[in-house]
Amino acid sequence: MADDGIEESGAGPEQAMQVDTAVVGPPSFDFETYISAYTGRARTKRLRFIANHCPDLRKDALLLCLEGLRSPGAVNVRDLREVASELERAGWLPADYSEAATAKLAAQVKDQQDRLETEVKQSRSAVVKENVRVALRDLGNHLFDSGDFEGAFASFMRARDFCSQPSHLLEGFFSIIRTALELERWEQVATFSARALADKPQPGPASTLNALSGLAALVQGRYRVAATHFLEITLANPDVIKPYLSPRDIGLYVTLCALATFTRTELREKLIENPNFKHALEHTPEFRDILRDFLASRPRAWRAVLARVRNDLLLDVYLHAHVDALFALITEVALIQFVSPYISLDMNVIAEAFALSLPDLEQKLVALALSGKMNIRIDSNAKIVHKILTNERAATFAQALQTGRTFELHCQGLLVRSLMQRHQLTIENDQSTSARASNAHPFNF
């Protein structure tokens, strides 16, 4: 563990995704303001995640979740009963909750599902593609709203076969993607989002698709791809991503993923100087400070901010499993940039700048050297890092000579080929001999 409170496991994305951390103590953000940025399924999903991972907010999160599931038009009886059961076990169930009313709602939901399934059968008998598509779409939407995501996914996939217009196909893609998101089928989210983006939709739908593609990449540990997709979102109209993400989410996802994978030039051009991304940074002032401190080479400052917001990040339903892996990657990038200008550098200076103990710092530097990310030698006794110097002049001459030899061989081959064509010479061999000759000779005649 680092001295400033940042835990860096050093695990890769695959190991990081197995982490499930309980947050001790309340977060630094205002809970009601945070959750008000979400609606529908995204709100329910985040509230249940917070309830399961933060004991201090468990009661408030469950009560808000129950309130949303009991609101007019809500038909997710499955989630309603699960949340009510959790509240009852804890002794927090509101007195006005009625299981009889829930049972009545469940019966209405079942009747509606039966009616929609009957409409699907009737439309198939009429053999009208548009009627079949609409019936399957309506059934899928009902199953999605009621929490049957497997059934909704199957219905949306069948409806796609009856799409006859580009707008219908785009609508079908959105339905499939949002259902795959709930089922955590990230490969399908990425695949169908890419197919929909290939048709160059309007800016609004394109922003939503990029948000979904970014989420899939983030969960899969492809941080650079995630940041690239999130930066394509037009944040001037945040309502298009509200069913899934908030501008605050975009700000912190992009900042963390970009710090771990972008160069300093890319950070300045794509984040700091990007007028579109400034909308996201306005919702995350602490991450704006992290960016500025990182570019100003003030590691102690930005590491302190990361340590302070770590508990907040662990309450994010998509990011929580990647927090420590991202922190470790960001620290690695910063160490490489800090050490690279020097031929030799005192490890005490580095430790002071990063607020790390000498054993922790040495462990990180050894790991970077062994992985080939830093070309250094470490003097453990004197606590000095030495850069392994290369003779750049000799390397340049060697590269120039090799380029000349390659060019000479190509020229010889072209001359031989030209002479053979002029004299109408051809060489015919059996297939196996020809294949061996082709593999052995650098030029294929």
Burial status of residue 4 (CB atoms within 10 A of its CB: 0-12, 13-18, 19 or more): middle
Instruction: Say which residues have a Cβ less than 8 Å from residue 64's Cβ, sequence separation at least 6.
Output: 35, 47
Q: β-pairing, 376-379 with 384-387?
A: antiparallel
Contacting residues for 150 by C-beta, under 8 A, at least 6 apart: 183
Do the beta carbons of residue 102 and residue 81 sit within 8 Å? Answer: yes
Report how far residue 112's alpha carbon sits from residue 110's, in angstroms, rounded to the nearest whole number: 5
* 3 state SS of 377: strand
Q: Which residues pair with 345 in a beta bridge?
A: 385
Backbone angles phi, psi at 330, to 5 degrees: -65, -40
Going 290 to 299 to 305 to 43, the CA torsion angle's sign is positive
Tell me: pLDDT of 392 over 80: no
Q: Which amino acid is located at 379 in the chain? A: D
What the block records as the tokens of 209 is 């698709």
C-alpha–C-alpha distance, residues 176 and 185, integer Å:
11
Of 150-164, 228-242, 341-355, the one with minimum mean pLDDT is 228-242
Residue with tokens 């699960």: 82
Q: What is the DSSP letter of 378?
A: E
| DSSP class of 193 | H
> Residue 17 above 50 pLDDT?
no
Q: Where are the alpha helices (DSSP H) in 296-430?
A: 299-314, 323-339, 347-354, 358-370, 392-422
pLDDT one-digit tens code per residue, 38-85: 988 999 999 999 999 999 999 999 999 999 999 998 999 999 999 999
Unique residue bearing structure tokens 């004299």? 423
The whole-angstrom separation of Cα 315 and Cα 38 is 15
Q: Which residue has the tokens 């995630």?
A: 226
Name the residue with tokens 């100087």: 273
Residue 438 is classified by DSSP as: H
The pLDDT of residue 389 is 79
Q: What is the per-residue pLDDT across 267-321, written as a single tens digit (0 to 9) for each?
A: 999 999 998 898 888 889 999 999 999 999 999 999 999 999 999 999 999 999 9
Taking only the tens place, the pLDDT of each residue in 320-378 is 999 999 999 999 999 999 999 999 999 999 999 999 999 999 999 999 999 989 989 99
**Residue 107 has which token pair?**
């019966």
CA pair distance 108, 120, nearest whole angstrom:
19
How confident is residue 444, by pLDDT bands cut at 50, 70 and 90?
very low
d(CA 23, CA 311): 6
Model pLDDT for residues 193-225, shown as the tens digit of each residue: 999 999 888 989 999 999 999 999 999 999 999
Percent of the chain with pLDDT over 70: 90
Return the pLDDT at 14.
Answer: 37
Answer yes or no: is pLDDT of 12 > 60. Answer: no
Element housing 56 (H / E) = none
Answer whether residue 445 shows pLDDT above 50: no
> Does pLDDT of 15 surpass 60?
no
Of 426, 346, 334, 331, give the one whose Cα is nearest residue 381: 346
The string of pLDDT tens digits covering residues 166-180 is 999 999 999 999 999
Average the pLDDT over 139-156 and give the result.
Answer: 96
